[in-house]
Amino acid sequence: MNSYYAFIKTIETGSFTKAAEELGYTQSAISQMVHSLEEELSTTLIIRSRKGITLTPDGEEFLPYIRKICNSHRELTEKHKEMEGLQSGLIRIGTFSSVTCHWLPGLIKEFKELYPTVHFELHQGNYSEITNWIKEGSVDFGFVNSNVTDLTAIPLQEDEMVAVMPLDHPLASSTEVSLEELLKDPYILLDEGVIHEPLLIFKKCHLEPDTQYRVYDPYAIMSMIEHGLGISILPKLLLNKCPYHIVTKTISPSIIRTITLAFKDKKGIANSKQVFY
């Protein structure tokens, strides 16, 4: 299996050197493992150049299958550890910023007090990425919105979304704001994958914000708002302990997202369900 993991890690990190550092091998050993895999498959998977590495067409074709083999091997290993009990093991969680910052640290701390040798691996992404990670087995479970399909889903908490604007914004003194009022400023969109709760509400009301920025990092959005580049709609949970000089306002009509725990089946969450129940 080492050659499979070496290939995946090389693609993920973009270099043999970084892959070697993360897997605990020499650069030469990683290169030999990848070459061994290429010989096994009778093809060239990676093109090496001064600019780095790129996948060949065959590499593109084989990548999802090799990734699936690695994920299945991890699941087999974790299942074996699960059968031995929670004395060791790895829990892989797909998560997004607000949950990562405001929920998981406390929950993981409590869990580690009971099972100190269990390790956690957090994969941070948007709703679409997390859903795909769960389906392909890259994570054991993940946090998504309520629109998830083809997975077992457990609603955990409703989270209000609020308008976020600079301190000197004309609406800063208002008790609440309407969606129409938010059309007057450049809109900074938080990239959440395919589903965007605010955009769905705008569309439902036959409105369209002036989206001038599409940003993956919510904290980058807060900084941009602080500097007067526009306004946004962000989850209230994310704004706890906010370090930026910005103003939040209730929106009418209200926008609510439901934070949902999702997993493929019961075995995928067997080792980790005690964190949340």
Give the CATH number of the domain where residue 200 resides.
3.40.190.10
Q: Please state the rounded mean pLDDT for residues 211-235.
A: 94
What are 238-264's pLDDT values in tens digits? 888 788 999 999 998 888 889 999 998
Which one of 72, 100, 121 terminates a domain?
72
Which one of 72, 90, 119 terminates a domain?
72
Question: What does pLDDT average to over the chain?
Answer: 86
- The answer as to whether 122 is a domain residue is no
Q: Could you write out the DSSP letters of every residue in 210-268?
A: EEEEEES-HHHHHHHHHTTS-BEEEETGGGTT--S-EEEEEEES-EEEEEEEEESSHHH
- The answer as to whether 268 is a domain residue is no
Query: pLDDT band at residue 206, thresholds of 50, 70 and 90?
Result: very high
pLDDT of residue 273: 44
pLDDT of residue 272: 46
CA dihedral 141, 238, 194, 124 (to 10 degrees): -40
**CATH number of the domain to which 8 belongs:** 1.10.10.10
pLDDT of residue 229: 96
> Is residue 269 pLDDT above 70, yes or no?
no
Give the predicted TM-score (pTM) of the model. Answer: 0.64
Q: Please state the rounded mean pLDDT for residues 157-177.
A: 93
pLDDT of residue 261: 93
Query: Which residue range forms the structural domain that includes residue 237?
Result: 159-257
What are 115-158's pLDDT values in tens digits? 888 889 999 988 889 999 998 888 999 999 887 778 889 999 89
- The answer as to whether 163 is a domain residue is yes
Q: How far is CA 123 from CA 92, 99, 139, 196, 208, in A?
A: 7, 12, 8, 20, 32
- The answer as to whether 38 is a domain residue is yes
- Percentage of the chain beyond pLDDT 70 is 91
> Is residue 65 pLDDT above 70, yes or no?
yes
Structurally, how many domains does the chain consist of?
2
- The answer as to whether 138 is a domain residue is no
- The answer as to whether 211 is a domain residue is yes
> Is residue 276 pLDDT above 60, yes or no?
no
pLDDT of residue 81: 65
Does 71 or 229 have the greater pLDDT score?
229
Q: How many Å apart are CA 18 and CA 169, to the nearest integer?
A: 46
Q: How many Å apart are CA 188 and CA 167, to the nearest integer?
A: 16
Which one of 51, 72, 93 terminates a domain?
72
> Is residue 277 pLDDT above 50, yes or no?
no
- The answer as to whether 176 is a domain residue is yes
